[in-house]
Amino acid sequence: MRRLSAALLCGLSALPSAAPAQEAVPDTIVTGTRVPTPQERVPASITVLTRREIEERGYQTLTEALTAVPGLRVAQLGGPGQQASTFLRGTNSRHVLVLLDGVPLTDPSEPNAAFNFGNELLFDVERIEVLRGPASALYGSAALGGVVNLVTRRAPPGRAFAPYGELAGGTQRTLRAGAGATGTVGAFDYLLSAQSFSTRGFNAIAQRLPDTGERDGFRGVFTTARLGWTPAEGTRIEGLLRWRQNNLGLDDVPRDDPNYSGEDRRWYGQVRGETRLFGGAWTTGLRLAATEDRRRYVNLPDSLSASTADDLYRGTRTTLDWGNTVRLPAVGVLTDGALGFGVTHAFEEARSASGSPFFRTTVDATQRTTAGYATLQYRLGERLDLTAGLRHDATTGFTDETTWRLGAALALPELRSRLRASGGTGFAAPSLFQRFGIIGDFFRGNPDLRPERSIGWEAGVETDLPAFGRPAFATTSATYFRSRIRDLINFNAGFDTLENVDRARIQGVELGLTLRPAAWFEATTAWTVTGAFDAETGRRLPRRPEHVVSVTARVRPASKVVIAPTVLFTGRSPEGAFASYNDQGVPFPYQRSNPPGTVVNLTATWQAFDQAALFLEARNLGNSRFEPANGFATPGRSVLVGTRFAL
């Protein structure tokens, strides 16, 4: 119920370690163009988090891993498992598409079609790729603000059995354990991975509110299995199955309820085949993927309330995708040409029932989407990379959508610089709830809603600065971005349906500085300045702070020791939720803005043995009570110690 209320009320708001880790294609990016391309030649803003970085910085959830990404602001309502939203370059949380190995993960039964970033653990993830800017020409709906692609671990060649694992425990009765193995045996390769994570947690309700909160614990279990077969060079068939279940206590405001709990399950599977034709010039592949989400939230009667809630959400998605990459011959000064094209078909279904008898909310609906896309890229004069993309999506019941994207990346080795510019359009289709949802006898969804649409562009430069005998003593970067969004979905004046009524304008700059004064020290500062406004009223959009700064460092004082501190500063932001909330006649202590806050984390790793390491992960060292969202404070100070191995 709380999640549905937040979705309704928010409106507009609403990818060598201590122990060796396997690296999957570390020098190329697929997310940015759908064609494997070196990162420096991708004409888009991309951040890549490798397995080494995930471990050295102690990231255990996807939310943690994204906090230091430029242009991205995370707002989580508590600890692991709690609702976590991301605002990428000022766009709504539902405007960020999340993929697992290229397959969408969003739950179709989520009322606002927004992904909950607080649910994902990272033990089976090899890398995280974050693409910023409109990418619907590549991935369709929801990629209006950008894409987050989780790439699972891969088997190393030439090793029949490569086990890995970790065990850690700490404050708040936290226990984290994981074990896995990968290997290649002849023409076959495999991955087996399992992780469990439990914690007593914190009371995330802000101290300024009535003290009725309690600790909200979390228990999560993840398992992943992959089997691949390579019968001949260039031909591969693989199947992947992933399951997770999270059980958690839920915080609520302004009065927390100790009996409010949730269970969140997901099955994910895919079968994929790929082969090369015509001497490797043409790669074609077919993939069938399916996800099934089941979420249940229960609130039993207690001294605070006699009411009972039993909310159930079920969402399924089946995707069939045919993708191709054709390497093109040189044409004059144009080289390294590639044409990508394909067709994808998705079937989505949502079944949900939640809320009280008066405020009963139900959805029972399906929809199908068929899309065709094409991308083209060439290199001019060995230094200018040009890309173009076009996609057409047709969804049952509303207007088709055609999106495009253009980009260029220019290498200037004489100046040790790289220039980048891109622009395109994006869209986010209305959710099944927005089209077909029912609330009591006073609200009906609008099946005639149009997709939310955007147009945006960016331009940036990155420069390496030599000093003190080091060719890249420092790297500076600056990217300006601008976008306009129209047809945003919100309630009509009578609150009895939804309409395309809102518009937004967004601009900002992402500034970066990386210093490498010595081989044992590297520090990166990312400063994002964002102006996100309602185009009608001129007011700032909720939960989009003007300033977000992150400082990450990798310090190696000894050959076997790595220290990774992180400082995260979030500036003041307007708050849009709970403005008119009342509880038993007592007005909610509503803040019109969320004050700024700073959180300091630290991870230290000691490579005690060649194949095993000890680590310490300390979170929120200053015990900050910063509220990323109105009424919900950052979880308090915690420490976790453990060991990690890879044989």
Q: How far apart are the first and last CA of the chain?
A: 46
CA distance 79 to 633: 9
- Say which amino acid occupies 442: F
Q: What is the pLDDT of residue 253?
A: 74
- 83, two tokens: 């609702």
Chain position carrying tokens 């008119």: 580
Binned average pLDDT, 10 residues per bin, the chain of 647 residues? 34 32 49 79 92 95 95 90 92 95 94 92 95 94 95 92 97 96 96 96 82 82 97 95 94 75 95 95 96 93 74 97 95 93 97 87 96 96 94 89 96 96 96 95 94 97 94 96 96 93 96 96 98 93 94 96 98 72 47 88 96 97 92 92 95
* Rounded to 5°, angle at Cα 387 from 384 and 389: 175
Q: What is the pLDDT of residue 25?
A: 39
Q: Give the Å distances, CA to CA, from 319 to 102, 142, 296, 488, 616.
A: 11, 16, 25, 26, 41
CB-based burial of residue 207 (10 Å sphere; 0-12 exposed, 13-18 middle, 19+ buried)? exposed
What structural domains and CATH numbers belong to the chain? Answer: 2-152 (2.170.130.10), 162-646 (2.40.170.20)
- Residue count of the chain, please give it: 647
Q: What is the pLDDT of residue 258?
A: 77
Distance of CA 188 to the CA centre of its chain: 31
User: Rounded to two decimals, what is the model's pTM?
Assistant: 0.92
CA distance 491 to 495: 6
Q: What is the pLDDT of residue 588?
A: 54
Q: What is the pLDDT of residue 577?
A: 60
As separate numbers, helices (DSSP H) first and strands (DSSP E) second, the chain gives 5, 37
Q: What is the pLDDT of residue 36?
A: 80
Q: Which of 409, 418, 420 is nearest to 463 (CA)?
A: 418
Local structure of 184: helix, strand or coil: strand
CA distance 603 to 554: 10
Q: What is the pLDDT of residue 208?
A: 79
